[in-house]
């Protein structure tokens, strides 16, 4: 049989991976190196060249889209359907297993799969039955913890509560939740994998079925596997089966949701005869972009290692723009995109990347002002986000008591004992007396018609709205917004959401304070605080809704760095490369998290095909206050020869602390021998981190944040700092 069509158009490394006769194979597929092509062609090779039955092959990936694409490309290459092939996601294949072996799994054939909302409702009901207060024991937190335990392979009886009261309580919820699911024939997503793993592990006949069936197992995005997925694969694979793992340890960026980059190294140790093949030829980016990516990622330890290269042209230098503040940064981004369009390019071929969702606010405002169409990829515009809508609802009702939708939203968020029954009474009274919800609420409270927790919560809410109305008379809008999000309980309410979601929502609320402060500064006339607040609400209303580009419009893409994985663009702008922002402050003291932040930066760089711009700001209003963070350490890890550093325009306002500066910060660092972000030791003040600088020569000063003594400016000539 002629199989040349399978090997045609493959490079040497790809061909080696496709035709390898090694039982176990680890394909380290660098960004843009054609890993999907290798997977598809390897399956086709096994079917046509090795005469392997398609039904004896299992191919596993992470998304339904990727699974469908893989199956389609295999069938196109084979010119035949994969009728009995097991090609799908981890959860999809686990579901297929449980359908086939439902009796062995202790399920009926018609078991129901719970989505996240259904799971949450059950956990809420169980918490209520256990007499657990929702405010103290948020059901979303319990849900997250239960799912995390399942991802680690822990049933309730295997969970070690470590004598911790909180873990002990959630363990009780987990026990009741398991009992409910078993009784009602329910399976959540975590359960699909856990239970299918258990039936293979514990049932000899089921294990025999899979061991005799699958001769070849191929796994895509192996660096993103978690504990249960890895163990699931090991149970399904017989000692005779070959396993091909395709992934990139340099692109492992989902540790926060359970992915274990360690699984890549574990695989090569579990199967000590594993052949490692590196796909290093990149078909996406220029040599300069790849040079930056390679140099950056070399600073990570414990990697299997590879070095990307391309036959493409050298390409243009990476442009590094040092902005004065986030507004200047956003203006620069808008100018670059305008210039890109004026040169005949498409907006859709450009992407603006950021570490934190909250950063999109300033960028969105600049693009709107410049009439540049944009789309938030995989997310919502700033003012459309749930937590922002909740906060703005308070602002609306403070200035307009007749805004009933805002009143209902603000009463209910956060929960304060005002449930649906109380809301129904408010609606009824408002309709009966033809008055607003605010007035109806006050009437019901005065009459004593609502008692208990609901009455107390409603009374507290009305008092808060009244205080805020008085507060704005003497205080600026930004102070009012800070008062709203903190005193209303919104920060505490959203912080209870598990994992990154809760942290992101809090960051967005803090960014809202910055947004109001920036709006105040943009008002040229001396106006009353109340009028400024009303203007702000008008601005939000005018900028909302239809200003974001529709699905089929030509529009620039705005997205977080995490959302960008797997995508590519001719033009990429990476924004906010400052210490504590990127790398994120939460990673600074944790070496493994810091390495994941560097991998995230690597992913961002390798999204760029032709042009890459990187920006950072000297000052940034972050979390409601001005910060002066040094440039990201990741910038210093990129060779200077690959970077063209440009300065802001002369007309841009310089921040008040910017006094005397070198041509670049890198030049200053060369002069004093200490880099920004460097940990240092002072004889009197102890350990600290270098934050900023000013001056030159004998007058050079550095700003250091000491662990115990706080932030201080020291003259370099006398400081006698020791690098750590």
Q: Which residues are catalytic?
A: 35-36, 220-221, 251, 607
d(CA 481, CA 529): 12
**Cα separations in angstroms, 345 against 286, 331, 336, 348:** 18, 19, 12, 9
Angle, helix 386-399 to helix 499-522, in steps of 10 degrees:
40
Cα 255 from Cα 258, distance rounded (Å): 5
Non-local CB neighbours of 300 within 8 Å, separated by 6+ positions: 250, 595, 598, 599
DSSP letters for 455-488:
HHHHHHHHHHHHHHHHHHHHS-HHHHHHHHHHHT
**Sequence-distant (≥ 6) Cβ neighbours of residue 459 within 8 angstroms:** 445
Sequence-ordered strand ranges (E) for 313-463: 318-323, 350-354, 374-376
Length of the chain as a residue count: 724
Residue 612 CA from chain centroid, whole number: 21
- Three-class SS of residue 221? coil
Please confirm whether the linkage preceding 142 is cis (ω < 30° from 0). no
The C-alpha atoms of residue 395 and residue 407 are separated, in whole angstroms, by 10
Tokens of 318: 């990476």
Longest dimension (CA), the chain: 89
Q: How far from each other are the two terminal CA atoms of the chain, in whole angstroms?
A: 64
In degrees and rounded to multiples of 5, residue 622 shows phi and psi of -130, 135
Containing H/E element for 69?
helix 64-78
Cα dihedral 52, 54, 55, 57, rounded to 10, equals: 80
């Amino acid at each position: 049989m002629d199989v040349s069509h399978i090997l045609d158009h493959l490079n040497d490394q790809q061909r080696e991976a496709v035709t390898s006769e090694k039982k176990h194979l680890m394909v380290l597929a660098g960004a843009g190196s054609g890993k999907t092509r290798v997977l598809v062609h390897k399956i086709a090779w096994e079917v046509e060249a090795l005469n392997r039955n398609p039904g004896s092959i299992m191919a596993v990936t992470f998304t339904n889209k990727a699974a469908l694409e893989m199956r389609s490309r295999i069938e196109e290459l084979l010119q035949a359907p994969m009728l009995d092939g097991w090609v799908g996601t981890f959860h999809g294949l686990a579901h297929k297993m449980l359908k086939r072996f439902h009796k062995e799994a202790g399920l009926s054939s018609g078991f129901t799969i719970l989505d996240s909302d259904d799971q949450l409702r059950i956990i809420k009901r169980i918490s209520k039955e256990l007499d657990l207060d929702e405010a103290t024991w948020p059901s979303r937190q319990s849900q997250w913890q239960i799912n995390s335990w399942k991802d680690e392979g822990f049933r309730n009886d295997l969970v070690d509560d470590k004598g911790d009261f909180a873990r002990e309580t959630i363990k009780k919820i987990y026990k009741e939740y398991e009992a409910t699911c078993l009784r009602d024939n329910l399976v959540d997503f975590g359960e699909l994998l856990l239970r299918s793993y258990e039936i293979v592990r514990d049932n000899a006949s089921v294990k025999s079925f899979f061991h005799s069936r699958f001769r070849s197992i191929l796994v895509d995005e192996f660096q993103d596997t978690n504990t249960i997925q890895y163990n699931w694969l090991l149970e399904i694979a017989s000692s005779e089966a070959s396993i091909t793992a395709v992934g990139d340890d340099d692109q492992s960026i989902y540790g926060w949701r359970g992915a274990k980059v360690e699984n890549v190294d574990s695989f090569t140790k579990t199967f000590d005869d594993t052949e490692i093949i590196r796909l290093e030829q990149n078909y996406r980016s220029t040599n300069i972009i790849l040079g930056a990516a390679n140099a950056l990622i070399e600073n990570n330890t414990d990697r299997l290692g590879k070095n990307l290269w391309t036959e493409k042209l050298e390409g243009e230098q990476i442009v590094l723009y040092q902005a004065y503040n986030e507004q200047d940064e956003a203006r620069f981004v808008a100018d670059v995109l305008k210039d890109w369009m004026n040169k005949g390019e498409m907006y859709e071929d450009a992407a603006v990347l950021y570490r934190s969702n909250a950063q999109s606010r300033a960028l969105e405002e600049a693009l709107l002002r410049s009439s540049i169409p944009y789309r938030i990829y995989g997310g919502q515009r700033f003012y459309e986000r749930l937590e922002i809508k909740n906060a703005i609802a308070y602002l609306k009702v403070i200035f307009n008591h007749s805004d009933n939708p805002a009143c209902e939203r603000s009463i209910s968020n956060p929960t304060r004992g005002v449930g649906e029954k109380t809301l129904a009474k408010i609606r009824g009274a408002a309709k009966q007396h033809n008055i607003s919800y605010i007035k109806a609420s006050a009437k019901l409270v005065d009459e004593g018609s609502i008692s208990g927790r609901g009455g107390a919560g409603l009374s507290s809410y009305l008092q808060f709205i009244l205080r805020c109305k008085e507060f704005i008379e003497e205080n600026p809008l930004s102070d009012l917004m800070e008062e709203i999000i903190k005193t209303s309980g919104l920060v505490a309410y959203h912080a209870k959401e598990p994992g990154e979601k809760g942290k992101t929502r809090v960051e967005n609320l803090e960014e809202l304070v910055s947004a109001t402060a920036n709006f105040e500064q943009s008002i040229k006339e001396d106006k009353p605080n109340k009028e400024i607040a009303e203007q702000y609400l008008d601005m939000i209303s005018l900028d909302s809704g239809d200003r974001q580009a529709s699905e089929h419009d030509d529009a620039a893409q705005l997205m977080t760095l995490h959302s960008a994985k797997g995508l590519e663009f001719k033009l990429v702008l990476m924004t906010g490369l400052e210490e504590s922002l990127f790398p994120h402050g939460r990673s600074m003291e944790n070496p493994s998290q810091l390495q994941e932040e560097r991998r995230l930066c690597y992913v961002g760089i390798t999204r760029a095909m032709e042009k890459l711009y990187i920006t950072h700001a000297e000052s940034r209003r972050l979390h409601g206050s001005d910060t002066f963070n040094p440039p990201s350490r990741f910038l210093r890890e990129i060779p200077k020869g690959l970077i063209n550093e440009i300065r802001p325009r002369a007309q841009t306002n310089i921040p008040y602390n910017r006094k005397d500066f070198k041509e670049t910060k890198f030049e200053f660092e060369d002069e004093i021998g200490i880099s920004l972000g460097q940990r240092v030791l002072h004889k009197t003040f102890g350990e600290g981190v270098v934050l900023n600088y000013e001056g030159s020569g004998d007058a050079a000063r550095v700003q250091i944040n000491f662990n115990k003594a706080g932030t201080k400016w020291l003259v370099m000539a006398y400081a006698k700092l020791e690098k750590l």
